[in-house]
Amino acid sequence: MNRRAFLKTAGAVAALGALPSIGRAQAKEVKLGYILPVTGPLAFEAQLSLNGLQLAVDEINDAGGIKALGAAKLTLLPGDSQNKVELGNSEAARLIDQGISALIGPFSSLVAYSVRQVTEKNKTPFVLLAAVADNLTEGGLRYVFRVQPNGKAMSTLTMNNMFAMAKAANTPIKRVAMMHEDGNFGTTMGNHVEAFAGKLGYSFVQRIPYSLKSPDFTAELSKVKASKPDLLVISGYYGDSKIIAETAAKLRIGVHALVGLANAAYSNPKFIADNRELTDQLFDGNYWHNPQSPRAKAVFAAYEKRFNSTLTSHGVQAYTVIGVLKDALERAGSADRDKLRDALSKTNLADHILPQDAIKFDDIGENVNASPALLQVQNGKPLVVGPARFAEAKPVFPVPRWHG
């Protein structure tokens, strides 16, 4: 697109009473807004995401910015949702007023559900970060995009990965049990694993939602043991997952393996470091990077150098989202929201650090190739053991210590 056409578009947009600042943005910068729960109970995770965003933006700017826009630099405009819906909405409105080309965030599915209506109304591309609820892309919205696997993809692909691994080890999985926290996250995962039973041919023999705050899961795990499962899937948070793994180990429930599903603990380096022997050979299907990718290694090194800590999957997702936006901006040759949106929908990006093929969006904005990694903790490190082509280690399956 030539400069004249671009100016005409910008002029038309401005004339609609929209963001005059886009005219300014065209020469110098492209504004990307983010909404994260910067203050509030999720502040820690939000910071990890923010680090990833910052790393990616600085990397791109240092390399010359968006070439198709005359070396325009990316600018991140901050928004704090405090994990609250009303604030998410007002922050979105404010950022849109300030002329962002796209919105990133907001972490919580609940906030996302509301914010996406604001972005849709204002025709602003909204690239989800961390929000996992499946219904976020439903409803015929054109401006919502999601790079990471949604709940359904997370569950079904993890089960696929486990089954592929079981098949390779000649140890079939016939009976699956699941424990999940009884909130939104766990219940969503539980529903998917239950629904997938027919497709993959397993019996879903026991499903136990549990209360997060409970100090004891022995009774629940006894019920699991009594249902004689081959596999126990656990969708939970840090503390409860710890107690469950602890008790399950002692109860000798007789499964081939214990696998977390988007579990907050089992592939979490801090959890592993704190509970070394407990975590040995635990599986987890979770967001991750591609360990085979040289670029990923470079990104990890850069992150470590800058933030003095290890890049987590929160940061990986954030880093990737910026990469997707950059690619779309280059192809759109414009910071205009509608053009950006169209460019996003045509994304076919292979240069990324995720454990999947090229990033492509379907017509509701989901990343068709989104794929969780299957990880196993080996010698105190969470290693990718599946899908096979991304694996950095061979899985240990079945896991001897879980056997009865």
Partner 1 sequence: MTADLLLQAVVSGLLLGGVYGLVASGLSLIFGVLRIINFAHGAVMMLAMYTTYWLFTLRGIDPYLSIVVTGPLFFFIGMVIQRVVIEPNRFAAEHNQLLLTLGLALFLENLALVLWQGDFRTVRPSYASASFVVGEALVEVPRLVACGGAIVMALALFAFLRLTDVGKAIRALSEESEGAMLMGIDVGRIRAVAFGIGSGCVAVAGALVTPFFYVAPDVGESFNIMAFVVVVLGGMGNFVGALLGGFIVGLAESLGATLLPGSLKQLVVFALFVLVLLFRPAGLFGGGRGR
Partner 2 sequence: MAAEVFGGLALGLLVLAPPFLPPYFLEILISVMLFGYLGAAWNILGGYAGQFSFGHAAYFGIGAYTSTLLFLRLGVSPWLGMLAGGVLAAAFGLGAGYLSFRYGLRGPYFSLVTLAFAEMLRVIAVNTKAVGSSLGLVIPSREPAPVNFVFAGKLPYYYVILAMALGAVWITRRVARSKLGYSLLAIRENEDAAEASGVDALGMKLRAMAISSFLTALGGTFYAQYFAYIDPTITFGPTVSIQGLLQAIVGGAGTALGPVIGAFVLTPLSELSRAAVRGRAGVDVMLYGLVLILVISFLPQGLMGWARRRR
- φ, ψ of residue 316 to 5 degrees: the values are -60, -45
Counting every residue written for the chain, the total comes to 404
Chain positions 256 to 285 lying near partner 1, rule: CB under 8 A, are 270-271, 274-275, 277-278
C-alpha span between 164 and 387 (Å, rounded): 9
- Dihedral angle sign, alpha carbons of residues 57, 60, 66, 72: positive
Does 309 engage in binding with partner 1 (CB under 8 A)?
no
| Closest-CA residue to 157 (of 207, 208, 110, 192) | 192
383 forms beta bridges with 376
Contact stretch for partner 1 (CB under 8 A) within 8-16, 98-106, 222-230, 385-393: 222-230
In whole angstroms, the minimum distance from the beta carbon of 308 to partner 2 comes to 18
Q: Which residues contact 356 (CB under 8 A, 6 or more apart)?
A: 290, 367, 369, 370, 371
Q: Which residues contact 5 (CB under 8 A, 6 or more apart)?
A: none
Q: Are 343 and 310 in contact (CB under 8 A)?
A: no
Select 250 or 306, whichever has its Cβ closest to partner 1: 250
Q: Which of 126, 204, 210, 283 is the binder for partner 1 (CB under 8 A)? A: 210
Q: Which does 90 bind (CB under 5 to 8 A by kind): partner 1, partner 2, none?
A: partner 2
What are the residues binding partner 2 (CB under 8 A)? Answer: 38-43, 80, 82, 85-87, 89-90, 93-94, 110, 113-114, 117, 135, 139, 182-184, 186-188, 191, 209, 211
Q: Which of 218, 309, 310, 348 is the binder for partner 1 (CB under 8 A)? A: 218
207 forms beta bridges with 178
In whole angstroms, the minimum distance from the beta carbon of 148 to partner 2 comes to 19
Q: Which residues contact 273 (CB under 8 A, 6 or more apart)?
A: 380
Q: Are 65 and 74 in contact (CB under 8 A)?
A: yes
Select 213 or 305, whichever has its Cβ closest to partner 1: 213
Contact stretch for partner 1 (CB under 8 A) within 52-60, 149-157, 237-245, 349-357: 237-245
Which residues contact partner 1 by CB under 8 A? Answer: 41-44, 182, 208-211, 213-220, 222-223, 226, 238-239, 242-243, 246-247, 249-251, 270-271, 274-275, 277-278
